[in-house]
Amino acid sequence: MTRHSKFDASIDKRRALNDAENSGIVADSLDVRMALIKRMEAGEMTLAQVQEELKKIKRNAKKNGHLTRSQVWSRA
């Protein structure tokens, strides 16, 4: 009988999150977040606007049939 450590659990959660992002079901994926940061760095948006846009994306996730990163993390 093997013992499932906290480290193993975090690896499993990270794998589940990566799989969910790759399948396109995560609304606030790393790619979406990086795109927002690039827009901020280009001067198109302020930090406050980026944060507000991310909140909006998270709010609309369920309505659009997606999950948030935190939902995937907590379910894994």
Local structure of 13: helix, strand or coil? helix
> How many helices (H) does the chain have, and how many strands (E)?
4, 0
In this prediction, residue 68 carries a pLDDT of 96
Question: Distance of alpha carbon 3 from its chain centroid, rounded?
Answer: 29
pLDDT in tens, the chain (76 residues): 466 788 999 999 999 999 999 999 999 999 999 999 999 999 999 999 999 999 999 999 999 999 999 999 999 7
In this prediction, residue 42 carries a pLDDT of 98
